[in-house]
Chains A and B, each alone.
Chain A
């Protein structure tokens, strides 16, 4: 199984998320993660979708089907080594009186994570990183009682000098 990251640029239209995801479901492809956000171009949304697949050919076919959607501006497919990517994870940990203390220094310096909220008997820790880094940190966090754990979908940019501007020139698109 290879991980593929798809960056999909679309006009911001209601229902487009559905129109894109049905292309995956019809082919029985499971979406590993999905992130939708606005971009530096007004009215343009960016979908970052991560899938795992054995066949590059199947992924290329999928990309062509997504490109076919009328409101889709551009689709790029990447392998992991072609992108810089990250996710955000949040851990809510119980810190009851008399529990094992957290080593904030270790969390900060060794794990590159930080406490973003102090509750009365809990803390919320934020960790940014790749899926692997977050998974490793999760193992470390299991030393405490995890009340809740969640992470965002992947966000990714291609390792090229090209910017969105080359696909959606400023002449045609208002910047935000």
Chain B
């Protein structure tokens, strides 16, 4: 009480502040950056900023998540759709630690994100204060850049820098740890926002060196069996048209990585499938036949290469990447090109000769036939009683003409979606690739819907991952975002079960789930929900879901012990790919 009286007394004697408070400056910076929506969760140390947000509600929409992890993944989903930094705002301590998983995920998947994190008052730093956590120290290994703001005057410059770093070069997450003092204090000078476009110690190279381009063009022009690996970098650089033109002109087969999915439409004459552990048969096996690999915006992840010592040892490699640290990291490049995928392809296009590689591309088709006989046919055209994930996804693909945005979680269903969804539009897969974060899909889906309100956004989630962030149903219901949610329920942690079956002598160690009634739960959150287990009803149920213009959940009860093939066993060479 005494405290309140003192404050009142002071308030009457102090002149009204001349300048913005730190918290107002943060809001103003978001407006200047054209940020329309942020995802967050309030708490003690971020309260001054939430107070300022109250006055900015007409300019900045805030989506209140149910757990800070949800805010992070939603910001990622938004970023993946728009190419712009998603903004997550949370409080100090546990609020910030809950954000660590999305941040780590965003770093691995090159996703721009700006995390605004509250911190205790500057004078309490290092005192083990309530909800204090060394979040700068903690987030250091998983952020592209982080910074602690202790002075309100720093805010405009640091915010501008944060957005620039997050979005430029190889995108990534940036964390700003903002002390309560910096939020609550008033600036001592007028607010001036100057967008950042240069940092002396950070100069990403967009335009490649001409000498590197020429070297690569020579290799491409003389290759007999060239093969393009298209990664996430193609989509980040918005280079799908350039990739299309390049692939057509030189007539080179193109496979995508998991995150490069949808860089070319699946009916493109040069598209031959996807690479990696559960990728296509031909796409994997023929890596051993190519004489030149042209890797564009991809990083030769172990899930793509299998046993590195046996991967593409016969081939020369042109490696295009904006991040110089990726060059020669896993695979030695014969001709590296450091630069933006779009700029590099633009520079290469006039230098490459028009060619025909009809026979080479036809080789992939031969493998497709084998894969269809041994794998796809079983998944799509079987006469079993139970629905298989593959047929559900293939049906969804047809019904949406391959034009929806699919947001997947992690596990068997993720691989199945990539196998059977026929992507026709670029930037249509949002998934957690590098980190493999279960629980990613549900929050990422509503983030993606905010980023692409005109597209159909469908989250496809396993029953395990769904329960990791199930509370975000509340966010979806409250925000009214018409996200479609499909649970592919096989009552198992399916991918782990598959490994246990294949490599651990069927010792099913803690992979079977006793699941709740998902329909009741969804309805409890106020979300329309339906369940289908009869194959005859699957089509009708999907139609109903797609016709809805509100949030909608469809639980598809799937065959329990289905396996995903093809599969390259972990650590084995891609040649040892299994079809059954």
Total B residues in contact with A, Cβ cutoff 8 Å: 19
Of the listed stretches B115-123, B194-202, B534-542, B557-565, chain A binds B194-202
B189 partner residues in chain A, CB cutoff 8 A: none
Closest Cβ of chain B to A72, distance in Å, is 6
Instruction: Give residues of chain A (32-75) contacting chain B, Cβ–Cβ below 8 Å.
Output: 57, 60-61, 64-65, 67-68, 70-73
B371 interface contact, C-beta 8 A: no
Q: Which of B251-308 contact A (CB under 8 A)?
A: none
- Are the CB atoms of B200 and A73 closer together than 8 Å? yes
**When A18-B140, A22-B140, A22-B141 are in contact, do A11 and B201 touch as well, CB less than 8 Å?**
yes
Report the Cα distance A10→B146, complex, angstroms: 15
Q: How far is the CA of A168 from the CA of B325 in the complex (A)?
A: 22
Chain A 154-176 residues near chain B, CB threshold 8 A? 172
Against A, the Cβ 8 Å flags (1 = close, 0 = not) of B138-169 are: 00110011101000000000000000010000
Complex alpha-carbon distance, A72 and B200, angstroms? 9
Output the least CB separation between B50 and chain A (Å). Answer: 27
What's the minimum C-beta distance from A59 to chain B, rounded to whole angstroms?
12
B445 to A: closest C-beta gap in Å: 31
From A22, which residue of chain B is reached at the shortest CB distance?
B141
A65-B141 contact in complex given A15-B136, A70-B199, A71-B201, C-beta closer than 8 Å: no
* CB-based nearest A residue for B146: A15
Counting chain A residues whose Cβ lies within 8 A of the other chain, the interface size class is: 20 to 34
Is A65 within 8 A of B140, CB to CB? no
Tell yes or no: A142 within 8 A of B by CB: no
Given A18-B137, A65-B325, A67-B325, residue A172 in contact with residue B200 (CB < 8 A): yes
Determine if A26 is an interface residue (Cβ-Cβ < 8 Å).
Answer: yes
Find out whether the CB atom of B323 lies under 8 angstroms from the CB atom of A68: yes
Report the bound CA distance from A18 to B136 in whole Å. Answer: 10
The A interface, classified by DSSP as helix, strand, loop or mixed, is: helix
Instruction: Say yes or no: A70 contacts B200, CB within 8 Å.
Output: no
Cβ of A110 to closest chain B Cβ, rounded Å? 46
Interface membership of B328, Cβ < 8 A: yes
A15-B324 in contact (CB<8A): no
Q: Are B201 and A73 in contact (CB under 8 A)?
A: yes
A1–B376 alpha-carbon span in the complex (Å): 52
A105 at the interface (CB under 8 A from B): no
Assess A60 versus B144: contact at CB under 8 Å? Given A11-B201, A68-B323, A70-B202. no
B18 interface residue per 8 A CB criterion: no
Distance of A67 Cα from B389 Cα, bound (Å): 45
Whole-angstrom distance between the Cβ of B501 and the nearest chain A Cβ: 33
A14-B148, A15-B136, A172-B200 known; A67 and B324 CB under 8 Å?
yes
Kindly report which residue of chain A lies nearest to residue B326, judged by CB atoms. A64
Asked whether B141 lies within 8 Å of A26 as measured between CB atoms, the reply is yes
Chain A residues numbered 1-31 whose CB sits less than 8 Å from any CB in chain B? 10-11, 14-15, 18-19, 22, 26
Cβ B140 vs Cβ A15 within 8 A: yes
Cβ contact of A10, chosen from B199, B201, B328, cutoff 8 A: B201
Kindly provide the distance from the CB of A24 to the nearest chain B CB, expressed in whole angstroms. 12
Find out whether the CB atom of A70 lies under 8 angstroms from the CB atom of B328. no
B residues less than 8 Å from A18 (CB atoms): 137, 140
Q: Mark A59-103, 1 if CB is under 8 A from B, else 0.
A: 011001101101111000000000000000000000000000000
Chain B residues, CB < 8 A from A64: 324-325, 327, 329
The smallest C-beta distance from B488 to any residue of chain A, in angstroms, reads 35
A18, B135: Cα distance in complex, Å: 13
Q: Which of A57, A67, A70, A172 contacts B144 (CB 8 A)?
A: A70
Closest B residue to A71 by beta carbon equals B201
Asked if B201 and A72 sit within 8 Å, CB to CB, the answer is yes
Residues of A near B137 (CB, < 8 A) are 15, 18
Give the Cβ gap from B129 to chain A, nearest Cβ, in Å: 19
CB-based nearest A residue for B324:
A64
State how many angstroms separate the Cβ of B329 from the closest Cβ of chain A. 6
Q: Is the Cβ of A70 less than 8 Å from the Cβ of B201? A: yes
Bound-state CA distance A65–B326 (Å) is: 9
| Residue among B140, B148, B199, B324 with the highest chain A CB neighbour number at 10 A | B140
Minimal Cβ-Cβ distance residue in B for A66 = B325
Distance to closest chain A CB from B337 (angstroms) = 15
Interface residues of A in 96-151 (CB under 8 A from B): none
- Bound Cα distance A162, B329 (Å): 29
Q: Which residues of A contact B146 (CB under 8 A)?
A: 15
The distance in angstroms between the C-alpha atoms of A59 and B157, with both chains bound, is: 35
Distance between Cα atoms of A60 and B140 in the complex (Å): 22
- Indicate with 1 or 0, residue by residue over B301-336, a CB within 8 angstroms of chain A CB atoms: 000000000000000000000011101110000000
Residue of B nearest to A68 (CB): B325
Q: A10-B201, A172-B200 are in contact. Are A70 and B141 (CB under 8 A)?
A: no
With A18-B137, A19-B140, A26-B141 already in contact, the answer to whether A60 and B328 are too (CB < 8 A) is yes
Q: Which residues of A contact B200 (CB under 8 A)?
A: 11, 73, 172
Query: How many Å from the CB of B201 to the closest CB on chain A?
Result: 5
A60: which B residues are within 8 A, CB to CB? Answer: 328
How far is B328's CA from A65's CA once the two chains are assembled, in angstroms?
12
Taking A15-B136, A15-B140 as contacts, is the C-beta distance between A61 and B199 under 8 angstroms?
Answer: no
Task: Give which listed residue, B145, B148, B323, B329, contacts A70 with CB less than 8 A.
Answer: B145
Query: Whose C-beta in chain B lies nearest to the C-beta of A44?
Result: B201
Q: How far is the CA of A68 from the CA of B324 in the complex (A)?
A: 8
Chain A residues near B324 (CB-CB < 8 A): 64, 67-68
Q: How distant is the Cα of A71 from the Cα of B165 in the complex, in angstroms?
A: 11
Residues of B within 8 Å of A72, CB to CB, are 201
- Return B237 CB to nearest CB of chain A, in Å: 18
CA distance A68 to B137 in the complex (A): 18
- Return chain A residues, CB-CB under 8 Å to B201: 10-11, 70-73
Pick from A14, A26, A57, A70: contact of B165, CB below 8 A: A70
Q: Please report the C-alpha to C-alpha distance between residue A57 and residue B328 in the assembled complex, in whole angstroms.
A: 9
What's the nearest-Cβ distance from chain A to residue B159, in Å? 15
Some 30 contacts from A to B, beta carbons below 8 A apart, are A10-B201, A11-B200, A11-B201, A14-B148, A15-B136, A15-B140, A15-B148, A18-B140, A22-B141, A60-B328, A61-B328, A61-B329, A64-B324, A64-B325, A64-B329, A65-B325, A67-B324, A67-B325, A68-B323, A68-B324, A68-B325, A70-B144, A70-B165, A70-B199, A70-B201, A71-B145, A71-B201, A71-B202, A73-B200, A172-B200
- Nearest 9 CB-CB pairs, A to B? A64-B325, A70-B145, A73-B201, A70-B202, A68-B325, A71-B201, A22-B141, A19-B140, A11-B201
Q: Given A11-B200, A11-B201, 9 other A-B contacts at CB below 8 A? A: A15-B136, A15-B146, A61-B325, A64-B327, A67-B325, A70-B201, A71-B145, A71-B201, A72-B201
